[in-house]
Amino acid sequence: MARDPKYDILFEPVKIGPVTAPNRFYQVPHCNVLGHGRPHAEAANRRVKAEGGWGVVCTQEVEIHPTSDITPTIEGRLWDDRDIPQHRLMTDAVHEHGALAGIELLHSGFHATNLYSRVAPVAPSPIMAYGNYPGQARGISKREIADLRRWYIGAALRAKKAGYDIIYVYAGHDLSILQHFMKPSYNRRTDEYGGSLENRVRLAKEVLTDTREAVGDQCAVAFRFATEELLGADGLQVSGESQDIVGMLAEIPDLWDVNISDWSNDSSSARFEPNEGYQEPYTAFVKSMTSKPVVGVGRFTSADTMVSQIKRGVLDLIGAARPSIADPFLPRKIDQGRIEDIRECIGCNICVAQDNMVAPIRCTQNPTQGEEWKQGWHPESIEAAASDDAVLVVGAGPAGLECALQLANRGYPVALAEASEMLGGRVLHESSLPGMSSYLRVRDYRESQLRGKENVEIYLDNKLGAQDIIDLEIPHVIIATGAHWRRDGVGRTHLRAIDGIDKVEVFTPDDVFAGTDISGRVLIYDDDYYYLGSTLAELFRNRGQEVCLLTPESKVSIWTEYTLEQAKVQSRLIDLDVEILVSHRITSLEANTAHLEGAHRQRLKSNFDSIIMITSRDVDDALYQTLLESEDRFRTLRAIGDCHTPGTVAAAVYDGHAAARQLDSGEDIFAPLFRRDLPAID
Ligand code: ADP
Ligand code: SF4
């Protein structure tokens, strides 16, 4: 298929200093926790994006020196020449597909607690070390500032040697010492690096100029700058000093990469920033202040929005981290006129959560993400079917849909049976909760792909029993029938049913989704800690009901700290006047009253008209268990997704994908083989 000419503008080359990007698709630096610990996986992860058409593909943060050691996380490292070969893996992989390779060099200042190098952390002025680490960062001396400049130059030269085309000077996300110097809240110096704005910007300006002098003949110098921190007068503001900073540095870099800070604002989830291009109000001004190209992000997945950003003079290059993770082939699909094949990011921030857990990247929409080298998975190709045997997939939630789609892509004849009248399983229900509508993309992408395939039959309103399945005589059967929430309170906190729970009427999220009447003051007991507790609280508040959200954890929806949403969740609940009760567990229940015990053994009572338990789920595997009695009739009989092990939507999609790849492979599914990056012993 040919590209729609209205998208031609996206495929124009863009000159960036001494190099030229082949098109306007730009994968901005983003973390993946592959980095220096898993360099082959890192290179393969970036290679797929270059292959998928991103004209520029960047690294994640790359530490320039042991005084900027962000252990325990595993991102990039370019401390000395011995780090160059692993970067070569990445640049060669990216160049092979005609893209430019960019590197985000970074000194993290006090954000680096130097847990490996054990060097005292540095900051513009003395300050407590990052996070809750019980130590301090000391003010960097002027002599050390000269060292710091030399370290930046050394790293830039090494980056050039490693083959990078674009070298970043980074002052964003509140993570970089160059940005720390700009902020009066961190910089109380009285020398020429403190005080006036010109003084506070001096270090960034010097590093930009040094980098240009060192590598600018061959490499473009990019400046990544947070124009807005959403902290009011305590941070950089578009309405404050940011415009002056852009004015001072306007023509020094070859490229401006602009965004909002910190990471929770830059990578805002769809729940809190539902629209593409949400950064435009904060970054649009930059283009009017420089003649150099500007790249920015905003969870762009629509080609029309991208074109509009360029035509309206907001951006020159369409930056993306998450959209490139969810679909590394997004540019190629636009180029080939295959818009409907784009697997759009849902803004769930599971990718971000992995980083915050210091674990290799994964993605809800793209189960191959992070598995490119480890398992040899590719987002757009899959091994051909080993036989003409038909496969029956029972249940069309995320696991069943992904499994059916990939089996169909392999070429197997696939029958997908779903008990209800609509595809989607849990995402159909959960996407109806406040702020969660983007989750429906998990279904929509797979449904539209499946509907276009001749080797797929979809049977809706088709609840299959064991005998039905046996009678079909289909050799491969995959059961993806999901799970349901327990009513007895058993979960993390309670390993046995809660006292008195059998005497009260208890609701679960499944009752909410089924439309059951849940009236009066609602007490939601959240022992799950992810999004269901708070989204249900929002739902009932929006209906005008009184709501108390009770959790044994010390914060509401505590797991959403990993997705960078927790503070926003809490603030929304407070705005909605939801009563929040943390660090309390239910000890017993009686009609309309929950007896509670707090973390400090204090006792409380909470009254309710209706109580909803979000504690743990039981698998819906009765069908699978019955079929196991006739296992010898099938070549494959397997339970996947929530029906096998309840988990996140991302886990269900992954399980469905893995099952499709493993069919007929002879692989031991409980002990799959994968490659590991092993350190060389020298
Ligand atoms: P997962 O997250 O593992 O994909 P879901 O709970 O989202 O699981 O989806 C399970 C799907 O299976 C639901 O849409 C449900 O209607 C369907 N289902 C359950 N039992 C049967 C059955 N016996 N026959 C067909 N579909 C079923
Ligand atoms: Fe988007 Fe979620 Fe994938 Fe991250 S994990 S890229 S937010 S779909």
Cα separation, 408 vs 400, in Å, equals 12
Question: What local confidence, expressed as pLDDT, does residue 668 receive?
Answer: 78
Domain 487-617 belongs to what topology? FAD/NAD(P)-binding domain (3.50.50)
The ligand 2 atom at the shortest distance from the C-alpha of residue 350 is: 5
Binned at pLDDT 50, 70 and 90, residue 140 comes out as very high
Residue from 481, 532, 657 to probe ligand 1 pocket by mutation (most atoms less than 8 Å from CB): 481
Binned at pLDDT 50, 70 and 90, residue 679 comes out as confident
Binned at pLDDT 50, 70 and 90, residue 1 comes out as confident
Residue 403, ligand 1, Cβ within 6 A: no
pLDDT tens figures, 431-488: 999 999 999 999 999 999 999 999 999 999 999 999 999 999 999 999 999 999 999 9
| Residue boundaries of the structural domains of the chain | 5-356, 391-482+620-665, 487-617
Inter-CA distances, 654 with 379, 387, 480, 608, Å: 12, 23, 13, 39
Question: What local confidence, expressed as pLDDT, does residue 397 receive?
Answer: 98
pLDDT tens figures, 18-44: 999 999 999 999 999 999 999 999 999
Q: Which ligand is nearest to the CA of 428?
A: 1
Residue 645, ligand 1, Cβ within 6 A: no
Distance between Cα 514 and ligand 1 center (Å): 14
Average pLDDT over residues 117-129: 96
Residue 455, ligand 1, Cβ within 6 A: no
Domain 391-482+620-665 belongs to what topology? Rossmann fold (3.40.50)
* Ligand 1, atom 22: closest residue by C-alpha: 463
Distance between Cα 389 and ligand 1 center (Å): 23
Which residue has tokens 């409907």? Answer: 340
State whether residue 128 is helix, strand or coil: strand
Question: What local confidence, expressed as pLDDT, does residue 682 receive?
Answer: 73
**What average pLDDT does the structure give for the chain?**
97
Give the lowest-confidence range in 159-163, 230-234, 319-323.
Answer: 230-234
Residue 426, ligand 1, Cβ within 6 A: yes
Inter-CA distances, 185 with 121, 207, 240, 317, Å: 17, 21, 14, 32
Question: What local confidence, expressed as pLDDT, does residue 671 receive?
Answer: 76
Pick from 219, 647, 261: nearest CA to 426:
647
The ligand 2 atom at the shortest distance from the C-alpha of residue 322 is: 6
Question: What local confidence, expressed as pLDDT, does residue 436 receive?
Answer: 98
Residue 79, pLDDT > 80, answer yes
Residue 651, ligand 1, Cβ within 6 A: no
Residue 644, ligand 1, Cβ within 6 A: no
pLDDT tens figures, 626-673: 999 999 999 999 999 999 999 999 999 999 999 999 999 888 777 777
Residue 623, ligand 1, Cβ within 6 A: yes
Cα separation, 667 vs 361, in Å, equals 24
Annotated active-site positions, please?
Answer: 31, 170, 173, 266
Give ∠ CA 358-364-365 in degrees, rounded to 5: 135
Q: Which residues line ligand 2 (CB under 6 A)?
A: 322, 325-326, 345-351, 363-365
Question: What local confidence, expressed as pLDDT, does residue 670 receive?
Answer: 79
Distance between Cα 462 and ligand 1 center (Å): 11
The ligand 2 atom at the shortest distance from the C-alpha of residue 347 is: 7
Residue 311: burial class (beta carbons within 10 Å; 0-12, 13-18, 19+)? exposed
Q: Which ligand is nearest to the CA of 397?
A: 1
Pick from 176, 215, 659, 178: nearest CA to 405:
659
Q: Provide the pairing of β-strand 617-619 with 483-485.
A: antiparallel
pTM: 0.97
Average pLDDT over residues 214-224: 98
Cα separation, 238 vs 235, in Å, equals 10
Q: Which ligand is nearest to the CA of 466?
A: 1
Q: What is the CATH number of domain 5-356?
A: 3.20.20.70
Per residue, the 3-state secondary structure of 440-466, as one string, reads HHHHHHHHHHHHCCCCEEEECCCCCCH
Tell me the H-state helices in 461-531. Answer: 466-472, 509-513
Binned at pLDDT 50, 70 and 90, residue 427 comes out as very high
Q: Which ligand is nearest to the CA of 564?
A: 2
Pick from 250, 225, 222, 251: nearest CA to 238:
225
